[in-house]
């Protein structure tokens, strides 16, 4: 089972991935957690380059670096873990490219992104994606107490486009993308995720905590 967590920066993805990993491990599941970009030595080096504020990357350079990091993560970690029967939880995946490089930057058409994903990962997609949806201002507050007047107007509009793109993904792919109201408390978000997972994977819900 391949499960991903998506949402704008500061929406609560990492928090929920950690909680779900613990919940699954308590029920006897072998779980591997990872993040995109990152998760392997090479992919983490690419991540450092991507997230370095002094890297003045062209939009296409950025896109190809995200795709390269993901290709390595899929080949080196995700596919082997899935073939070994482990549950893979990943903090972000291809949907982030659609939302950020597609909707946010509007660099290239969606079909082009999809083709790049096919070429670099064989088109691997998660079984289930949890989209933790929060308003931009709420995510900004959570990130580091940034209030809305500190975020540049341009960054604000960018994150609004990212959020809108994520929400349209949930509408286009309701059997894969589960949109969860991230403005609830962490415990309530956790409960919504567990309820959804039990519905699509009844045996995991039946497992008793060890």
Ligand X SMILES: Nc1ncnc2c1ncn2[C@@H]1O[C@H](COP(=O)(O)OP(=O)(O)O)[C@@H](O)[C@H]1O
Ligand Y SMILES: Cc1cn([C@H]2C[C@H](O)[C@@H](COP(=O)(O)OP(=O)(O)O)O2)c(=O)[nH]c1=O
Residues forming the site for ligand X (CB under 6 A): 7, 9-15, 142, 182, 184-186, 189
Among 40, 72, 97, 165, binds ligand Y (CB under 6 A): 97
In the complex with ligand X, the residue whose CB is nearer, 6 or 62, is: 6
Q: Which stretch binds ligand Y (CB under 6 A): 89-97, 121-129, 168-176, 202-210?
A: 89-97
**Is 179:133 a contact under the CB 8 Å cutoff?**
yes
The C-alpha angle 171, 176, 177, rounded to 5 degrees, equals 50
Residue 143 host element (H or E): helix 136-144
In the complex, minimum distance from the CB of residue 89 to ligand Y, in angstroms, rounded to a whole number: 14
One of 36, 73, 89, 170 touching ligand Y (CB under 6 A): 36
Residue 11 annotated as part of some ligand binding site: yes
Exposed (0-12), middle (13-18) or buried (19+): which is 27, by Cβ within 10 Å?
middle
Q: How many residues bind ligand Y (CB under 6 A)?
A: 12
What is the Cα–Cα distance from 126 to 138, expressed in whole angstroms? 27
100: partner contacted, choices ligand X, ligand Y, none (Cβ within 5-8 A by kind): ligand Y
Q: Is 52 annotated as a binding residue?
A: no
Q: Of the two residues 106 and 188, which places its CB atom closer to ligand X in the complex?
A: 188
Q: Does 102 bind ligand Y (CB under 6 A)?
A: no
CB-nearest residue to ligand X: 12
Q: Is 12 annotated as a binding residue?
A: yes
Is residue 205 part of an annotated ligand binding site? no
CA distance 194 to 197: 5
Structure tokens at 12: 């609560």
> Residue 4's beta-bridge partner residues?
90, 129
Residue 3, beta-bridge partner list: 89, 128
Q: Which does 36 bind (CB under 5 to 8 A by kind): ligand X, ligand Y, none?
A: ligand Y
Among 100, 130, 158, 166, binds ligand Y (CB under 6 A): 100
Q: Which two tokens stand for residue 142?
A: 């959570």
Q: How far apart are CA 109 and CA 38, in angstroms?
A: 25
Question: HSE (CB half, 13 Å, CA atoms) of 52?
Answer: 11
Contact positions toward ligand Y, by CB under 6 A?
9-10, 14, 36-37, 51, 66, 92, 96-97, 100-101
Which residues are annotated binding-site positions for ATP? 7-14
């Amino acid at each position: 089972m391949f499960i991903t967590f998506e949402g704008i920066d500061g929406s609560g993805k990492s928090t929920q991935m950690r909680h779900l990993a613990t919940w699954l491990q308590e029920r006897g599941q072998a779980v591997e957690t990872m993040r995109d970009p990152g998760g392997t030595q090479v992919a983490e080096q690419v991540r450092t380059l991507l997230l370095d504020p002094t890297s003045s990357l062209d939009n296409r350079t950025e896109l190809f670096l995200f795709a390269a990091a993901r290709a390595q993560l899929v080949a080196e970690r995700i596919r082997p873990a899935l073939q070994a029967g482990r549950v893979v939880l990943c903090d972000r995946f291809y949907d982030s490219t659609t939302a950020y490089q597609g909707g946010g930057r509007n660099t290239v058409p969606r079909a082009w992104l999809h083709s790049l994903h096919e070429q670099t990962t064989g088109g691997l997609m998660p079984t289930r994606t949890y989209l933790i949806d929060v308003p931009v201002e709420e995510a900004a507050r959570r990130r580091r107490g940034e209030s809305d007047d500190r975020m540049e107007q341009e960054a604000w509009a960018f994150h609004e486009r990212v959020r809108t793109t994520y929400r349209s993904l949930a509408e286009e792919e309701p059997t894969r993308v589960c949109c969860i109201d991230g403005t609830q408390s962490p415990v309530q978000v956790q409960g919504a995720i567990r309820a959804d997972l039990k519905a699509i994977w009844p045996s995991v819900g039946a497992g008793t905590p060890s």
